[in-house]
Protein backbone atom coordinates (compact mmCIF):
# COMPACT_ATOMS: atom_id res chain seq x y z
CA UNK A 1 0.00 0.00 0.00
CA UNK A 2 0.96 3.67 -0.36
CA UNK A 3 1.79 4.28 3.32
CA UNK A 4 4.58 1.71 3.25
CA UNK A 5 5.85 3.17 0.02
CA UNK A 6 6.09 6.66 1.52
CA UNK A 7 7.76 5.30 4.64
CA UNK A 8 10.35 3.52 2.50
CA UNK A 9 10.93 6.63 0.41
CA UNK A 10 11.52 8.87 3.43
CA UNK A 11 13.88 6.31 4.98
CA UNK A 12 15.86 6.22 1.74
CA UNK A 13 16.01 10.02 1.78
CA UNK A 14 17.39 10.06 5.34
CA UNK A 15 20.03 7.45 4.50
CA UNK A 16 20.92 9.57 1.47
CA UNK A 17 21.40 12.71 3.60
CA UNK A 18 23.60 10.87 6.08
CA UNK A 19 25.85 9.40 3.39
CA UNK A 20 26.19 12.85 1.81
CA UNK A 21 27.43 14.24 5.14
CA UNK A 22 29.81 11.30 5.73
CA UNK A 23 31.13 11.49 2.18
CA UNK A 24 31.67 15.25 2.49
CA UNK A 25 33.96 14.75 5.49
CA UNK A 26 35.82 11.74 4.06
CA UNK A 27 36.28 13.41 0.69
CA UNK A 28 38.30 16.21 2.26
CA UNK A 29 40.54 13.77 4.12
CA UNK A 30 39.05 14.61 7.50
CA UNK A 31 36.46 13.11 9.80
CA UNK A 32 34.48 15.17 12.25
CA UNK A 33 33.71 13.35 15.47
CA UNK A 34 31.51 15.67 17.47
CA UNK A 35 30.58 19.25 18.19
CA UNK A 36 29.92 20.26 21.77
CA UNK A 37 31.46 22.68 24.22
CA UNK A 38 31.27 24.38 27.61
CA UNK A 39 31.15 27.75 29.32
CA UNK A 40 33.88 30.27 29.97
CA UNK A 41 34.14 33.89 31.18
CA UNK A 42 35.32 36.04 28.24
CA UNK A 43 36.84 38.59 30.66
CA UNK A 44 38.88 35.91 32.41
CA UNK A 45 40.44 34.06 29.46
CA UNK A 46 43.89 35.09 30.69
CA UNK A 47 43.24 33.05 33.84
CA UNK A 48 41.44 30.16 32.15
CA UNK A 49 43.37 26.93 31.63
CA UNK A 50 44.11 26.41 27.94
CA UNK A 51 43.00 29.88 26.85
CA UNK A 52 45.65 31.63 28.97
CA UNK A 53 48.22 30.29 26.47
CA UNK A 54 46.35 29.42 23.24
CA UNK A 55 47.94 26.85 20.95
CA UNK A 56 48.60 23.18 20.27
CA UNK A 57 48.98 20.68 23.13
CA UNK A 58 49.83 17.02 22.67
CA UNK A 59 47.49 14.92 24.83
CA UNK A 60 48.11 11.39 23.50
CA UNK A 61 50.12 9.35 20.95
CA UNK A 62 48.15 10.77 18.01
CA UNK A 63 45.95 13.20 19.87
CA UNK A 64 46.16 16.94 20.10
CA UNK A 65 44.16 19.76 21.63
CA UNK A 66 44.18 23.22 20.14
CA UNK A 67 42.88 26.18 22.13
CA UNK A 68 41.94 29.13 19.94
CA UNK A 69 40.77 32.61 20.96
CA UNK A 70 38.95 34.83 18.46
CA UNK A 71 39.38 38.59 18.79
CA UNK A 72 38.59 41.48 16.48
CA UNK A 73 40.24 40.70 14.03
CA UNK A 74 42.51 37.72 14.51
CA UNK A 75 42.77 34.20 15.82
CA UNK A 76 45.25 33.41 18.58
CA UNK A 77 47.40 31.61 17.65
CA UNK A 78 47.55 32.63 13.99
CA UNK A 79 49.55 29.56 12.96
CA UNK A 80 49.32 25.99 14.25
CA UNK A 81 50.93 22.71 13.28
CA UNK A 82 49.94 19.07 13.85
CA UNK A 83 51.25 15.83 12.31
CA UNK A 84 49.22 13.78 9.82
CA UNK A 85 47.15 10.86 11.13
CA UNK A 86 46.22 12.71 14.26
CA UNK A 87 42.98 13.48 16.02
CA UNK A 88 42.74 17.15 16.84
CA UNK A 89 40.16 18.68 19.16
CA UNK A 90 39.71 22.42 18.77
CA UNK A 91 38.37 24.46 21.69
CA UNK A 92 37.39 27.85 20.36
CA UNK A 93 36.02 30.88 22.16
CA UNK A 94 35.79 34.64 21.67
CA UNK A 95 37.09 37.50 23.79
CA UNK A 96 34.72 40.07 22.30
CA UNK A 97 31.98 39.54 19.69
CA UNK A 98 30.56 36.56 17.80
CA UNK A 99 33.04 35.16 15.29
CA UNK A 100 33.12 32.07 13.09
CA UNK A 101 35.68 29.29 12.83
CA UNK A 102 35.90 27.40 9.57
CA UNK A 103 38.71 25.14 8.40
CA UNK A 104 38.53 25.77 4.67
CA UNK A 105 38.06 22.66 2.53
CA UNK A 106 36.65 20.63 5.43
CA UNK A 107 33.29 20.35 7.18
CA UNK A 108 34.79 21.80 10.37
CA UNK A 109 32.73 24.91 10.90
CA UNK A 110 31.39 26.45 14.10
CA UNK A 111 30.19 29.70 15.62
CA UNK A 112 32.54 31.32 18.15
CA UNK A 113 30.50 32.92 20.91
CA UNK A 114 31.84 34.93 23.86
CA UNK A 115 31.18 32.95 27.05
CA UNK A 116 30.96 29.63 25.26
CA UNK A 117 33.54 27.11 24.12
CA UNK A 118 32.92 25.51 20.75
CA UNK A 119 34.44 22.05 20.57
CA UNK A 120 35.18 20.38 17.27
CA UNK A 121 37.16 17.17 16.77
CA UNK A 122 38.78 16.55 13.41
CA UNK A 123 40.91 13.67 12.15
CA UNK A 124 43.61 14.75 9.72
CA UNK A 125 44.80 11.83 7.60
CA UNK A 126 47.17 13.51 5.19
CA UNK A 127 49.65 16.37 5.20
CA UNK A 128 48.30 19.65 3.90
CA UNK A 129 47.80 23.36 4.39
CA UNK A 130 44.47 24.55 5.72
CA UNK A 131 43.25 28.09 5.89
CA UNK A 132 41.09 28.97 8.89
CA UNK A 133 38.67 31.83 8.40
CA UNK A 134 36.07 33.75 10.35
CA UNK A 135 32.75 33.26 8.57
CA UNK A 136 30.57 35.48 10.77
CA UNK A 137 30.61 39.22 10.12
CA UNK A 138 32.34 40.70 13.17
CA UNK A 139 33.26 44.23 12.14
CA UNK A 140 35.42 46.26 9.77
CA UNK A 141 38.33 43.80 9.78
CA UNK A 142 36.22 40.67 9.40
CA UNK A 143 37.61 39.82 5.93
CA UNK A 144 41.18 39.74 7.25
CA UNK A 145 40.47 37.50 10.24
CA UNK A 146 42.26 34.25 9.40
CA UNK A 147 44.81 31.69 10.57
CA UNK A 148 46.85 28.83 9.10
CA UNK A 149 46.89 25.16 10.05
CA UNK A 150 49.71 23.00 8.73
CA UNK A 151 49.39 19.20 8.81
CA UNK A 152 52.93 17.86 8.43
CU1 LIG B 1 35.66 37.53 13.21
CU2 LIG B 1 34.37 37.85 11.21
CA angle 98, 115, 32 (to 5 degrees): 70
Give the pLDDT score at 9. 80
d(CA 74, CA 144): 8
Give 81 Cα–ligand 1 centroid separation in angstroms.
Answer: 22
Asked, for residue 105, whether it belongs to a domain, the answer is yes
| Structural domain total, the chain | 1
Per-residue pLDDT of the chain (152 residues; tens, 9 = 90+): 778 888 888 888 877 776 665 554 444 445 554 445 688 899 999 999 899 999 999 999 999 999 999 999 999 999 999 999 999 999 999 999 999 999 998 889 999 999 999 999 999 999 999 999 999 999 999 999 999 999 99
Q: Containing domain of residue 54, as a range? A: 31-151
Asked, for residue 45, whether it belongs to a domain, the answer is yes
- Is 144 near ligand 1, meaning CB less than 6 Å away? no
CB neighbour list of residue 126: distance below 8 Å, 6 or more residues apart: 29, 84, 151
Asked, for residue 22, whether it belongs to a domain, the answer is no
> What tens digit of pLDDT does each residue of 105-128 get?
888 999 999 999 999 999 999 999
The atom of ligand 1 lying closest to the CA of 70 is 1
In the chain the beta strands, taken as DSSP E runs, fall at: 30-35, 38-39, 55-60, 63-71, 74-76, 79-82, 86-94, 99-103, 109-112, 116-124, 128-133, 146-151
Q: What's 60's domain CATH number?
A: 2.60.40.420
d(CA 118, CA 133): 15
The protein residue whose alpha carbon is closest to atom 1 in ligand 1 is 99
d(CA 73, CA 99): 9
d(CA 22, CA 32): 9
Give the pLDDT score at 28. 45
The atom of ligand 1 lying closest to the CA of 72 is 1
Give the pLDDT score at 113. 95
CB 101 within 8 A of CB 118: yes
Asked, for residue 137, whether it belongs to a domain, the answer is yes
Amino acid sequence: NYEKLWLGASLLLIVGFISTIVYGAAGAGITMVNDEGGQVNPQELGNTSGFDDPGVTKVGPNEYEVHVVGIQFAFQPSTMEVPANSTVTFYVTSRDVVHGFEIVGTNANTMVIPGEVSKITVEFDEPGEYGIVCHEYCGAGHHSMAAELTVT
